[in-house]
């Protein structure tokens, strides 16, 4: 990498990387300010290529509907989960796809998922539906049972 074009491109990419980290830090600072300085349980950051160990084989992809649940897009803030818990309807928000997948693994006699949506929150904190990710309709025979991802 001795060509000037490569050095310039590398410098630009490193600046973009730094700007992204600053954006995350600024967002976390604003969240703490909104909470009056209280600690917020931020999820751990995703694995970055720079933190991965070289030579490790990739994990085998998970199968089924649970594996197909996508991560949130930049314009989306959370997953809205509608379910039956101990016979009562309930609704919850989660920003983590793994939390939704964990709920899908709960035995159906305790919790039955009815709907999973990707949502955004407006400036007042009100939920605005963005996209329905998992419908409440029963699956065709041979697929996941109703209420399961």
pLDDT tens profile 97-132: 888 888 888 887 788 888 899 998 888 888 887 798
Neighbour-count burial of 107, counting CB atoms closer than 10 A to its CB (0-12 exposed, 13-18 middle, 19+ buried): exposed
Domain membership of residue 44 (yes or no) is: no
Q: pLDDT grade, residue 13 (50/70/90)?
A: confident
Question: In terms of pTM, does the model score above 0.85?
Answer: no
Same-domain status, 72 and 34: no
Domain membership of residue 147 (yes or no) is: no
Above 60 in pLDDT, residue 57?
no
pLDDT of residue 142: 55
Instruction: Using alpha carbons, select from 65, 67, 74 the residue that is nearest to residue 134.
Output: 65
Mean pLDDT of the region 3-11 = 75
User: How many folded domains does the chain comprise?
Assistant: 2
- Domain that residue 25 falls in: 4-39
3-class DSSP state for residue 76?
coil
Beta bridge partners of 117: 80, 132
Same-domain status, 117 and 74: yes
Q: What is the distance between the alpha carbons of residues 111 and 85, in angstroms, rounded to a whole number?
A: 5
Same-domain status, 79 and 116: yes
Same-domain status, 28 and 75: no
Q: What is the distance between the alpha carbons of residues 76 and 19, in angstroms, rounded to a whole number?
A: 21
């Amino acid at each position: 990498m001795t060509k000037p074009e490569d050095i310039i491109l590398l410098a630009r990419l490193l600046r973009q990387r730094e700007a992204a980290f600053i954006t995350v830090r600024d967002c976390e600072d604003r969240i703490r300010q909104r909470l009056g300085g209280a600690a917020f349980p931020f999820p751990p950051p995703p694995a970055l290529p720079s933190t991965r160990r070289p030579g490790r084989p990739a994990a085998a992809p998970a199968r089924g509907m649970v594996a197909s649940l996508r991560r949130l897009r930049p314009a989306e803030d959370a997953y809205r989960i509608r379910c039956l818990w101990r016979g009562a309807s309930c609704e919850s928000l989660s920003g983590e796809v793994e939390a939704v997948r964990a709920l899908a693994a709960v035995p159906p006699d305790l919790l039955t998922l009815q709907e999973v949506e990707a949502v955004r929150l407006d400036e007042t904190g009100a939920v605005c539906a963005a996209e329905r990710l998992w419908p409440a309709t029963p699956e065709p025979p041979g697929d996941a049972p109703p209420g399961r991802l």
